[in-house]
Structure 1
């Protein structure tokens, strides 16, 4: 019997040893693969980023159990909530600032002293943030910044989180019941959307913003910080080549229809000063946007409802960025007609929109599309859909200029038939 026990012990040891060797080998192989992926990702260009993220995300999802998937998807609002709390407390900024220090981390006691929050609460928040990769826990009561933390200190992250939490999330939560109530039909009534259900209002989002200055500020800041002028239509469209040398200084050159508070006008005038490209630069939007508009030299800030006849006639460029996706097809055609009625043969309508591909649309564009559905009964339209709409009203698409391949952001050169 002693021999049997000894033999069994040897088998157990041998099995355990083999398992340990196998685990060590697998871990070493995995570490090497991860380092290789990191190297390849660091060398990838901007347009390759999203496909890499999608491939790695799918790999992670392939390891999930059904409960893992439910916890991930069901917990997404919690991620937004806790991350916003951390932004409000300044946790990310404090940890990033500490990176240059001797330890590179901060203890709970230090964070409590700096934020005024109770250490016990901070532990719970930071432990959760570590579990979703936004901070690193280095000991029982110390945390440090990582790449996610640094991302969360960007102005676009702070304003974007507030915009999503306070403005977008309520309409997302209302969407399932709204679609069920409307018989799961594609939305085409901009006066009855998930937005109206969520906020219990008869106002559309931009009218609603007039009485909600905080929400309007979050939206404006997020739109302003989302991308710099280097990722804009001016980086790809041949403006100079389209404007005759003799263009008069008193003639409308660039009309930004629905231009919010004027960031696009400011970028246009910055790139093409009046002494370089003469002509009037005009911003148009509703009263509450114009009241908050930038005071850019050389830009005329004017109130206009773009569903009414266009008062500025014969301009070279009528520019609309992210305007049409806020509306269903029948409103898009009305807006197109109101603008084209003011155009001459020299005029060009420039339509700046997300134009998703027919196959393989990325997360950002697909999410924008559902957000437009929920808030406006609008959509992110394919180039084929755009051509159909243009043809119905008497316009033609001359060319589409893609300036951000990763998110399909493009400007369309559209002219009279």
Structure 2
């Protein structure tokens, strides 16, 4: 068994990101295939407790303390740093250790592993706060919400789990504006999520698309997202509201990154029609989003799709759903450039029908 484990670790270290993800998926599938019924029930039933434990660990700076120590720490040493009762810490330790968040090297002595070091970062702790504090209550409301609406496809951004959980009439992003701490966690999480990942400029043929008909006075690139995009700061984009008429006319590119998945189809169509009105004869709409396969959707894609439904009455979209949405607005897919194979992050290049 040890030889097999060592072989898998060696293989994972030498492969690319796509192959590493495939190895992880196969190992997870193997694990599930040999579970007993009790194993399955135990694994699923305690998922909420796992995130709660992570939240406690983040509050106590437990992951930071272990990661910053040059040597293993005992329960008593950790207790002195966290000010947490040693008995309570022991219980929490047992919970966390069961999820292999750090490594036990001796009786009541622990050291950081790669998971612990990740959880010590600002971005990872922001993700824990974001999903436990802000999103968690909304997700908990999803079963009753769907039951009350007779399982209709959610389309109202002011009738989601968020409104029920937080007793508000505001849509999620308007609610965020009144919750600066939650908004800060969300922004730190997004920064971490994009760090080091490929970007659309890695694959999109910009030079080829701009070889002709480029008047120096013409707008080159319009960022429709309404916020700062880490990918395109060098383009000096105009920032426009999502569903307002587009005032920058005739630009070569109208770019949206991770916007459409935040909105139901009717709002997306409205925005796309505004862009069509602004386009020149050789303009392109560039939609930077995940393009889910029509079948065999990866579990990470699926859970993001379900989250969008729970808190925004929106969705991630398959290739087929993107085609239908664009056609309903008077557009067609001219090409799709996939720049991150793991989650199918892609540029959908759209032009009028």
TM-score, normalised by the number of residues in structure 2: 0.94
Report the counterpart of residue 304 of structure 2 in structure 1.
368
Q: Which residue of 2 aligns with 1:282?
A: 238
- Structure 1 segment 201-350 matched on structure 2, within 5 A: 201-228=168-195, 230-244=197-211, 247=214, 250-260=217-227, 262-264=228-230, 267-270=231-234, 281-284=237-240, 304=241, 306-350=242-286
**1:213: Cα distance to partner?**
0.7
* 1:189 equivalenced with 2:153 (yes/no): no
Moved more, 216-225 or 113-122: 113-122
What is aligned with 1:394?
330
* 8 Å Cα contact 1:259/1:321 also seen in 2: no
Asked whether the 8 Å contact 1:48–1:406 carries over to 2, the reply is no
Cα 1:118–1:410 shift into 2, 3 Å = same
Partner of 1:290: none
CA-CA distance at 1:106 after TM superposition:
0.6
1:157 maps onto 2:113 in alignment: no
- For residues 76 and 196 of structure 1, what CA distance do their matches in structure 2 show? 24
1:88 has 2:55 as partner: no
Instruction: After TM superposition, give the deviation of residue 113 of structure 1 in Å.
Output: 2.1
Per-residue CA deviations over 1:228-280 (Å, capped at 9, x if unaligned) read: 365111211122322247745554222211243x033xx3244x5xxxxxxx5
Q: Is the 8 A contact 1:316 1:348 kept in 2?
A: yes
Q: Distance in 1 between matches of 2:274 and 2:211?
A: 25
| Per-residue CA distance 1:187-218 (angstroms, 9 max, x = gap) | 22333222222222211101111101111111
Alignment partner, residue 355 of structure 1:
291
Tell me the equivalent position of 1:141: 108
Task: Give 5+ residue unaligned stretches, structure 1.
Answer: 1-29, 273-279, 285-303
CA–CA separation in structure 2 for the residues paired with 1:259 and 1:204: 17
Q: Give the one of 8, 13, 20 matched to 1:49.
A: 20
- Cα distance in 2, alignment partners of residues 189 and 115 from structure 1: 44
Instruction: Give the superposition deviation at 1:118.
Output: 2.2
- Output the CA distance in 2 between the equivalents of 1:249 and 1:329: 36
3-state SS of 2:315 partner: coil
**Secondary structure of residue in 1 paired with 2:18:** helix
Secondary structure of 2:275 counterpart: helix
Kindly indicate whether the alpha-carbon contact (under 8 Å) linking 1:194 and 1:375 is maintained by their aligned counterparts in 2.
yes
RMSD: 1.9
Aligned mate of 2:140, from 173, 178, 183:
173
Any runs of at least 4 consecutive aligned residues in structure 1 with deviations exceeding 6 A, and if so which? none
Residue 33 of structure 2 is aligned to residue 62 of structure 1? yes
- Which whole-Å CA distance do the structure 2 matches of 1:126 and 1:363 have between them? 29
Mapped partners of 1:403, 1:259: distance in 2: 23
SS in 2 for 1:371: helix
**Secondary structure in 2 matching 1:355:** strand
| Secondary structure of residue in 1 paired with 2:295 | coil
- TM superposition score normalised by structure 1: 0.80
Structure 2 unaligned spans of 5+: none
SS at match of 1:341: helix
Partners of 2:17 and 2:121 in 1: CA distance: 18
Cα distance in 2 for residues equivalent to 1:187 and 1:230: 31
Distance in 2 between residues matched to 1:80 and 1:259, nearest whole Å? 32
Contact 1:259–1:320 (CA<8 Å) still a contact in 2?
A: no
**Offset of residue 402 of structure 1:** 0.7
Q: Output the CA distance in 2 between the equivalents of 1:395 and 1:358.
A: 20
The CA distance in 2 between the partners of 1:191 and 1:97, in whole Å, is 44
Aligned residue pairs total 353
**Alignment match, 2:319:** 383
Question: Which position in structure 2 is the counterpart of 1:112?
Answer: 79
- 2:97 alignment partner in structure 1: 130
In structure 2, do the counterparts of structure 1 residues 377 and 269 end up closer, same or farther at CA, with 3 Å as the change threshold?
closer
**Residue 391 and residue 246 in structure 1: after superposition, are their counterparts in 2 closer, same or farther (change >3 A)?**
closer
Q: Give the match for residue 72 of structure 1.
A: 43
